[in-house]
Amino acid sequence: MKRIILFLITTAVLFSQELITPIPLTVKYNYEKALLGKKLFFDTRLSHDNTISCASCHFLDEGGDDNIAISIGIDKKVGIRNAPTVLNAVYNVNQFWDGRARSLKGQVEGPIHTSFEMGSSFDDIVKKLSVDRDYIKRFRSIYRDKITG
Q: Quick one: pLDDT at residue 85?
A: 82
Q: How far apart are CA 68 and CA 86, in angstroms?
A: 15
Tell me the CA distances in angstroms from 98 to 84, 92, 107, 123, 140, one per residue in order. 11, 12, 11, 27, 36
The mean per-residue pLDDT over the stretch 91-112 comes to 76
Could you tell me which residue, 114 or 99, shows the higher pLDDT? Answer: 114
Q: If you average pLDDT over every residue of the chain, what do you get?
A: 84
Q: Is the pLDDT of residue 11 over 90?
A: no
pLDDT digits (tens, 9 = 90+) for 72-92: 999 999 988 888 888 877 777
Q: CB–CB of 21/91 below 8 Å?
A: yes
Q: Quick one: pLDDT at residue 44?
A: 98
Q: Is the pLDDT of residue 9 over 70?
A: no
Q: How far apart are CA 141 and CA 93, in angstroms?
A: 31
Question: Mind listing the domains of the chain with CATH numbers?
Answer: 32-143 (1.10.760.10)
Q: What is the pTM of this model?
A: 0.79
Residue 62: active-site member: no
pLDDT digits (tens, 9 = 90+) for 20-32: 667 889 989 999 9
Residue 76 burial by CB count (10 A; 0-12/13-18/19+): exposed, middle or buried?
exposed
Q: Quick one: pLDDT at residue 89?
A: 77
pLDDT digits (tens, 9 = 90+) for 31-67: 999 999 999 999 999 999 999 999 999 999 999 888 8
The C-alpha torsion from 123 through 86 and 63 to 129, rounded to 10°, is -20
Q: CB–CB of 101/146 below 8 Å?
A: no
The active-site residue, picked from 18, 62, 109, 117, is: 117
